Amino acid sequence: MQQLVDNRYRLRQPLGSGGMADVFLAHDDVLDRDVALKVMSVRYAGDDEFVERFRREAQSAAALSHPNIVSIFDRGETDDGTYYIAMEYLSGGTLKDRVLKRGALPPQTAAAVALQIAEALKAAHDRDVIHRDIKPQNILITGSGDVKVTDFGIARAASSSTMTRTGHILGTAHYISPEQAMGEPVGPASDLYSLGVVLYEMLTGEMPFDADTPLGIAMKHVNGHLVPPQVLNSGIPDGINAVTVRLLQKDPEDRYANDAELIEDLERVVSGLDPSGATTEMATSVLPSATTRMAAPLPPQSVRGGKRKRRTAPFILALLALLVLVPLAWAGYNFLGNQPEEPPPSAMISVPGLVGMDVDAAEDEFGDDFKIETTAEVEGERPVGTILSQDPENGEAREGSTLSVEVVGTQVASVPDVVGEGRNAAEGALRDAGFEVSTDEKESSFENEDRVMLQDPEGGESIQRGSDVTITVGTGPDSVPVPDVAGVTAAQAGQILEEAGLVLGEVVEDYSETVPEGSIISQDPGEGESVEPGEAVDVTVSLGVEQVEVPEVYGISVEAAQARLSSVGINSEPLEVAGDEAAGTALSTEPGVGALVDPGSTLPLYYSAGPPEVTASPEPTAPSETQQEQPAQENSGPGGGNEEKAKEARENRQEAREDRKDKKADRREARNDE
């Protein structure tokens, strides 16, 4: 059986199995609730008439709504053509479990349970739905102690399909009505008869009819003598006994005419009242008499024939009676005298604890004291044959009595979740858990290469040990080699990468002393690496040699000025010029302070030769035109005033900044055009 039915119901564990269907505890993944999922037996799946009746009856059952009827949530068909019914799940067990574990119910409790069942049957019969398989196994107990009837519909479909064509008696032989056993048409009265059997079992803990074979049981329903339940349990009130006897009449006409009449009687006996007069009269007619009836006296003998005849007749009659009674008495004596004595009852001995043992080992150890009978085989994580429960569980029981056990029939285990694991680790984990492994391969990303991407069944599911688990392992992508794009422009690199099935990724800029401006310095991934088609390749584009800024040298010594220029990578050539500053004082460079030059450039470094010597001045005369122009020319040289030099430096720095901005803007525009 598949673990997920109709892509909705996830099977958890089997609840029961019969000739017509298997019942599982399942989880509804859509509505997130537990359900009882009844799946039609495979042997009926090919019977078109049965399937059609199953569909029709499942629809009728789904339409039933009553507090004492198990709700039908859904019905459908699986991929392999098997039909199912999703029902309300009740965890309280069945009425059969209750009777087996605790014996007969108190009479008032039994009558109250029968009343709830009768009300459920009335709701079904009012909609023309006949159950046809009323039995304590189909009566579920709720958490509050009420009961609900289950299995409406499927029993009718099964019997309708097979009874007339094969003669098989479907349903449980202990609970079928006489007309059902004979293959005759059945109606509501048949369900009431089955309810009578259930009531009889609740009252006495025994079946009204029993035999060695199902056919023998069925025939006793037809012509066997009913022992009233009060004979087996004297504590049963007369009213409840009468209701039970009327329900078990072999002729449907002698049973209750309808459900309402039965419900009325049950309500009366539950309340401590007597049932209707018709019920009491019928029960009285079938009960055994308390005393043996005496034979009617003989009519008076004729007086004709004279006195002699009157004397002779009694003597002859007495002699004949003696001749008859003596052999009978002798035969009775021999019969009673030769009867073997009944063996004394078996001793009461302690019930051993069998849970956890292997059933064969339990039989070897305790088989001489008890008969160990396997009543159910279920799925479990323990080894096959391990006993999971027993009845009775403890206490004492008679030597030779039966201990019923439930054992593991199919060993299951939880499937490890191996998605994301490496191939070898995943296969090892699954085999260690007891499963066989099949491996499929599928193209994947580099991250999933040689790792498990999928598994079936999924991790956490419980399946039979030794089953096959399929894992899908990634093989990695179809890769392409990365071409070399170093030394070309970004535009050229984009074209080269496109031809290789890749794309140009992030473009960043950096200075380089070796790579010309605009050319690619480096790339990531590097040349020759294998990558997925369509992957991006990031590049770094050269800004050329990073220029250095000419520092301020005015006012310091020539030696200090040369050291300052050298510290930023600029060489210098000192040139002496006239100036007002002390001799050896640096004045300026060419270009001046703030200008950007290439590292290693050699700049002229102007320094002062010292102020001119002071001499006596002649009488002032009007200066000639040439003499008026000379001071201005002298001040305009490298040794000019400090104010002019500072102004020149500021202008140089501003020009350098503007130049850098222009270059960056040009480079951005060029990339956008590419």
- 95, 51 Cβ separation under 8 angstroms: no
Which of 45, 127, 123 is CA-nearest to residue 84? 45
Phi-psi region of 161 (alpha: psi -120 to 50; beta: other; left: phi over 0): alpha
Amino acid residing at 670: A
Give catalytic status of residue 133 as yes or no. Answer: yes
3 state SS of 501: coil
- 39, 4 Cβ separation under 8 angstroms: no
- 94, 151 Cβ separation under 8 angstroms: no
3 state SS of 414: strand
Q: How many CB atoms within 10 Å of residue 308?
A: 8
Cα separation values, 232 from 135, 207, 556, Å = 21, 11, 132
Which of 276, 296, 294 is CA-nearest to residue 284? 276
Residue 29 sits at the vertex; the CA angle it makes with 9 and 414, to the nearest 5 degrees, is 75
Rg for the chain (alpha carbons), in Å?
55
Which residues are registered as beta bridge partners of 350?
396
531 Cα distance to chain centroid: 39
Of 133, 259, 265, 369, which one is the catalytic site residue? 133
- Dihedrals phi, psi of 503, to nearest 5 degrees: -130, 155
Whole-number Å distance between alpha carbons of 438 and 455: 10
Which residues are registered as beta bridge partners of 374?
405
Whole-number Å distance between alpha carbons of 389 and 356: 8
Whole-number Å distance between alpha carbons of 199 and 228: 12
DSSP tag of 353: -
Using CA of residue 212, residue 215, residue 216, residue 218, what is the dihedral sign? positive
Cα separation values, 672 from 491, 508, 509, 659, 667, Å = 10, 14, 14, 20, 9
- 558, 605 Cβ separation under 8 angstroms: yes
Cα separation values, 488 from 289, 478, 485, 518, 546, Å = 121, 27, 6, 8, 20
Which residues are registered as beta bridge partners of 272?
none
Structure tokens at 281: 């009269």
Question: Which residues, 6+ apart, have CB-to-CB distance to 176 below 8 Å?
Answer: 169, 190, 194, 218, 221
Whole-number Å distance between alpha carbons of 139 and 579: 123
Which of 471, 434, 436 is CA-nearest to residue 456? 471
- 586, 607 Cβ separation under 8 angstroms: yes
Which of 128, 176, 166 is CA-nearest to residue 49? 166
Q: How many CB atoms within 10 Å of residue 642?
A: 12
495 Cα distance to chain centroid: 52
| Residue numbers annotated as active site | 133
